Structure 1
Amino acid sequence: MPSSHLRAAFVLLLLLLSGCEQEAQAPLDQQLYIWQRQWRPAHAEALADSRADFSTLRVLAAQAHPGAGWSRIQVDRELLAADGRPLVAVVRLDGQLPDLDLQRTRADILALVDHWRVQGIVMQGLEIDHDCASARLLGYRDFLRDLRRALPADLRLSITALPAWLDSPVLADLLRQVDASVLQVHAVSAPENGLFDPARAQAWAKRWNDASDRPFLLALPAYGIALVNGRVESESPLAIAGPRRELQADPQQLAELLANLRRDRPEHLTGVIWFRLPLPGDRRAWRLSTLQAVARGEPLHADIRPDIQQSGPLHEFALANLGNLDGPLPERIELPARSCDAADALAGYRLERAADRLVFTRLNEGRLAAGQQRALGWARCEHLDQGGSRVYP
């Protein structure tokens, strides 16, 4: 073979290998749900801080619940327009609803789409979130078929889907009615069984991939709940007494799942959607720094250390978590100090004073969220070595 032909064949081989390598290294798309029913000023900062890591926003736009009926969410259209990311409007139809009034529900959804467009909100797609019982999937398929025909042709239709549907003979035909599906792999079992199981999530994703050739995403948890007398408590406290059993999605488990998906991604899986965008003050959602670290594949760690503020002889002590992961409160903190005429610990710790140090001992177990602080105590001391503190887990 002439040398020119050999060179051409070599270049073609390099291009083919390069194309395979690029395909293998294509990043897993990561999106966010915005699920707050009341928009607040805090959304502006949260959206700005999340923009670099999450490509698309899926925004709760309307919901229908038994007894409450249909209601629209008053989203901040100016804020969404300024953010500029692609938007998917999500309509939540509660799974406990009686048989859907197909004609009325379809009319409500079409009116919502028109309302968003009149308001100048540019929608890329519409997602229907309906925890439909497997026995009712045939009727749900017909509903989606008719809705697809009525929607604007340029609007992509997707649905939230449940692993329980995998055994239904209707599933393949149902998925043909939509452009994509979002497989929910959290909070799909009885709460007593836990919030999320990474091994089951990966197994479900592989089975879902085999069920249809349509693209799909995984809905992943970045939050926690509490169980109180058999009821679920999220961000809003339940007005009932009783012990609370906290269930939290483990960031390390989710990080490992993402790593596995990047190494061995099902063919039709295009990305993941995190539930949900956290706001400052959320009690059970991950902090945004934790969510971003998991999404980026960064190492997770808590870094809890004393923070000391001085004003003359007065020293005020706090604990600060400078890491990207929640961590347990330290069992003991020692601060080298001399000539202290007064000192005290605040709630959760006990103070012991020695001639050359202050010792704070934990009374109750607790956790400190990433990026957060909590007060520890205070002291009036002539000498305090701020760099000599020791923290015992």
Structure 2
Amino acid sequence: MCFLTRSIILLMALALTAGCERQDAPPLDQQLYVWQRQWTPAHDAALRDSRADFSTLRVLALQAFPNAGWSRARIDPALLKRDGRPVIAVVRLDGQLKSLDQEEVTAQIRQVISDWQKQGLNLAGVEIDHDAGNARLPAYREFLAHLREALPTSLPLSITALPSWLDSRELPALLSTVDSSVLQVHAVSDPRRGLFDAEQARQWAKAWSRITTKPFYLALPAYGVALLPSSGGAPVVESEVTLEREGLRRELLADPQSLRTLGIELRTDPPQHLAGLIWFRLPLANDRRAWSLTTLRAVARGDVLDSQLQLKLSADNGLYDIGISNQGNLDRAWPERLTLGVSGCEGADALAGYALQQSPDLLTFTRLRDGRLPAGGQRAIGWARCAHIDQGGSNVHP
């Protein structure tokens, strides 16, 4: 009996020890794509304010387009050097290219590597972004094998990958040629169906983890686009650059709440080999189709998201400037309507984007078009010259 008791105690102790030694999965790395083709002074603040939450910058370096040749992104190497984070040079090879000239592409990439290293950048890898169709994956694999041989062994090589490749028997061989992959789970199908489907992204990530034996990342959206009608049927997509086209724009925006939930789930129960999340893209202060950096940082951390709209009044000798501010960490749409209780008004008017209706004791500002108020931002709505505005009797309506 005593022997049996000691055995049970020993087994329980071993079980407890094993439980104590079991470690949680390491936190997922968080990185950023820097995708602007022309850098501006706004990059300074964006890089500085993103440093605490994102470990690595994947920077658009070079692009090749059919009939247009090569185009270098005009980065600011001094800013990148001062930032100090590891930098991965991203080379975009358009999927419509008829073929990849191995020698020409390799020479272009080696030149970028040489230039960036001479500029003192913390170059930590090269990423190839090429949306090859499944039929062209064997040729793409040959190109990547050639490139891997031509690059320094100390410089990791990664690729951006499409979920459609999961249907190809060539995928394992393709992934064997690179050190890691970045599975793009946003805007991969008809944009009219939305930019992102969280459940679909989970399924793709699980499927990818069963095929790859190397680290992989998920590329997640932190941006929006506009869809414009076209005579051909399929809509024209407007992103960072405004297109000179007529027609009503339908705005699509990745939902921060959905992506926050996905991020928490992936950190809690990550698929095998998932190394981190890469957000597209670093937002600048004037970026009208990206989340604000405040919202992006909150989503990446898994913070509770909330927008807090407040009426802002500033008075000078009876002249009131009327505006709104967003004191939360979540970007949100301009409010549909603002009502202000007033008395003794001599004049008032709305600013662009709003219309004014006025009665002796009420000013009503009504939204005319869509717009977003970034977290931490503010916007002027109109002005009024009144004896009194009752801020307690004023309301911001969603």
Aligned twin of 2:188: 188
Distance 1:294 1:122 in 2: 27
Q: Quote the offset at 1:161 in angstroms.
A: 0.4
Per-residue CA distance 1:94-143 (angstroms, 9 max, x = gap):
10111111121112112221222222222111111111111011111111
Q: CA deviation at 1:353?
A: 2.5
User: Do 1:328 and 1:365's aligned partners in 2 also have CA atoms closer than 8 Å?
Assistant: no
Shift of 1:310: 0.9
Letter of the structure 2 residue corresponding to residue 350 of structure 1 = L
Distance 1:8 1:78 in 2: 62
Between Structure 1 and Structure 2, how many residues are aligned?
389
| SS of equivalent residue, structure 2 residue 386 | strand
Seen in structure 2, the aligned counterparts of structure 1 residues 278 and 19 have a Cα distance that, compared at 3 Å, is farther
Say whether 1:65 aligns with 2:65: yes
Matched residue, 1:390: 395
Q: Partners in 1 of 2:283 and 2:120 — Cα distance? A: 26
Unaligned runs of 5+ in 2: none
Residue in 2 aligned with 1:46?
A: 46
Aligned equivalent of 2:82: 82
Deviates more, 1:58-67 or 1:371-380: 371-380
SS in 2 for 1:159: strand
What is the percentage of aligned positions where both structures have the same residue?
Answer: 54
Contact kept? 1:287, 1:369, Cα under 8 Å: no
Please list the CA deviations of residues 22-59 of structure 1 after superposition, one character each: whole Å capped at 9, or x if unmatched: 433x2211100000011111101000001111111001
Superposed displacement of residue 11, structure 1 = 8.8
Asked whether the 8 Å contact 1:304–1:320 carries over to 2, the reply is yes
Distance 1:289 1:55 in 2: 17
SS in 2 for 1:289: helix
Deviations 1:246-273 (A, max 9, x none): 2211111111211221232101101110
Aligned-residue offset at 1:72: 2.0
Structure 1 pair 62–15 and aligned structure 2 pair: CA distance change class (3 A): farther
Aligned to 2:249: 244
Q: Which residue of structure 2 lines up, in the alignment, with residue 278 of structure 1?
A: 283
Q: Which moved more, 1:98-107 or 1:48-57?
A: 98-107
Secondary structure of 1:62 counterpart? strand
CA distance in structure 2 between the aligned counterparts of 1:17 and 1:84, rounded to whole angstroms: 39
Distance (Å, rounded) in 2 between the aligned partners of 1:97 and 1:385 = 63
- Give 1:17's match in structure 2, choosing from 13, 19, 36: 19
Q: Is the 8 A contact 1:345 1:360 kept in 2?
A: no
Give 1:283 deviation, angstroms: 1.4
Residue identity opposite 1:98 in structure 2: K
Are residue 220 (structure 1) and residue 220 (structure 2) matched? yes
Matched letter for residue 198 of structure 2: P
Find the counterpart in structure 2 of residue 165 from structure 1.
165
Q: Normalization by structure 1: what TM-score? A: 0.92
Corresponding residue for residue 353 of structure 1? 359
- Mapped contact 1:349–1:361 kept (Cα < 8 A): yes
Deviation per residue, 1:197-224 (Å, 9 max, x gap): 1111110000000011111000001111
Which piece of structure 1 moves more, 85-94 or 294-303? 294-303
Whole-angstrom distance in 1 between the partners of 2:87 and 2:331: 31
Distance 2:365 2:156 in 1: 57
Gap regions ≥5 residues in structure 1:
none
2-structure distance, mates of 1:34, 1:15: 45
Give RMSD over aligned pairs. Answer: 2.4
| 2:223/2:281 contact within 8 Å kept | yes
1:322: how far off?
2.0
Alignment pair present for 1:366 and 2:370: yes
Distance (Å, rounded) in 2 between the aligned partners of 1:368 and 1:34: 22
1:342 is the counterpart of 2:347: yes
Change (3 A) 1:280 1:10: same
2:313–2:320 Cα contact (<8 Å) kept: yes
Report which stretch shifted further, 324-333 or 262-271: 324-333
How far has the Cα of 1:285 moved from its partner?
0.9
In the TM superposition, residue 352 of structure 1 has moved relative to its aligned partner by 2.1
Contact 2:134 2:168 in 1 (8 A): yes
CA distance in 2, matches of 1:7, 1:111: 66
**Do residues 290 (structure 1) and 278 (structure 2) align?**
no
d(CA) in 2 for partners of 1:33 and 1:257? 19
Separation of aligned partners in 1, 2:111 and 2:320: 60
Take 2:332 and 2:59, find their aligned partners in 1: how far apart are those partners?
A: 31
**Which consecutive aligned stretches of 4+ in structure 1 deviate over 4 angstroms post-superposition?**
6-16
Tell me if the contact between 1:321 and 1:369 (Cα under 8 Å) persists in the aligned partners: yes
Are 1:234 and 2:239 an aligned pair? yes
Q: TM-score, normalised by structure 2?
A: 0.91
Taking a change above 3 Å as real, the CA distance of residues 365 and 243 of structure 1, as seen in their structure-2 partners, is closer
Given the alignment of the two structures, is residue 27 of structure 1 paired with residue 32 of structure 2, yes or no?
A: no
- Alpha-carbon shift at residue 16 of structure 1 (Å): 4.4
SS of the aligned residue for 1:384 comes to strand
CA positional deviation for 1:327: 2.5
